[in-house]
Amino acid sequence: MNILDSRILLKRSTTAGQLPTVPGSSSHTDGTWIATDIYEGEAFLNVTDARLYTRAGSTIKEIGLQNSLVGTVQYATRTLTSAEILALGTTPITLIAAPGTGKAIWVKNVVTRLNFNTTAYNTNTLYLKLDGASDNVGEMSQYLNSTVSRFGKFYIDSDFFVNTTNTVVLENQALFIKTSANPTTGNSTMDILVEYQILNFNTIF
């Protein structure tokens, strides 16, 4: 076996669009290599783009990742104060910021915990929506007006074909939570956990 002055590294980059490169020499010790040069068999992960590469001879090849079309599963958390809940009808709260051009938020699951204080809210339905969409991406009823502390789970709407113009998922739009009207009573807080992925059409096609 011919072993070079060897190393096997996993290089990482957080710069969008950055790719690994083929060095001009056969040894990283001669002072000519740049930061993106890799040996055959080494891996280069672009964290921002969620893309993995390796080198075969003088060619850089991309390695397909499981779920790469929709990105890795991510989580977002938010605790709503009583004041925020009382204003949800007129002031929705952003749970996930807009992901950028060519990208869209794909909501998988949303679970919550209502931390009951002393007074129930007199509005019972919560909605999840992407900014600018015609339809909600999720909803949960008979929950906000609870009189005990308890967990809840949003029903996630996957029907995109109600009519010819409705929209649920939109590119580069934030996800927010709202009610149809401001509750006028209630003093509990609510913890929210969102499980989601990012559809990245910049890298899919």
The pLDDT value recorded for residue 91 is 97
Range of the domain at 85: 74-204
Of 42, 63, 84, which residue sits at a domain end?
63
Residue 159 lies in a domain: yes
Give yes or no: residues 82 and 21 share one domain: no
What pTM does this model have?
Answer: 0.67
Residue 5 lies in a domain: no
pLDDT in tens, 36-76: 999 988 899 988 877 888 998 888 888 765 544 556 788 89
Give yes or no: residues 36 and 95 share one domain: no
Residue 4 lies in a domain: no
The alpha carbon of residue 104 and the mean position of all alpha carbons in its chain are separated, in whole angstroms, by 9
Residue 41 lies in a domain: yes
What residues of the chain score a pLDDT lower than 70?
A: 1-7, 64-71, 158-162, 204-205
When divided into structural domains, the chain yields a total of 2
- E strand or H helix at 85: helix 82-86
175's CB contacts (< 8 A; 6+ apart) are 94, 95, 96, 105, 107, 128, 129, 130, 131, 137, 194, 196
CATH code of 145's domain: 2.60.120
Residue 168 lies in a domain: yes
Residue 117 lies in a domain: yes
Give the count of alpha carbons within 13 A of 49, CB side only: 19
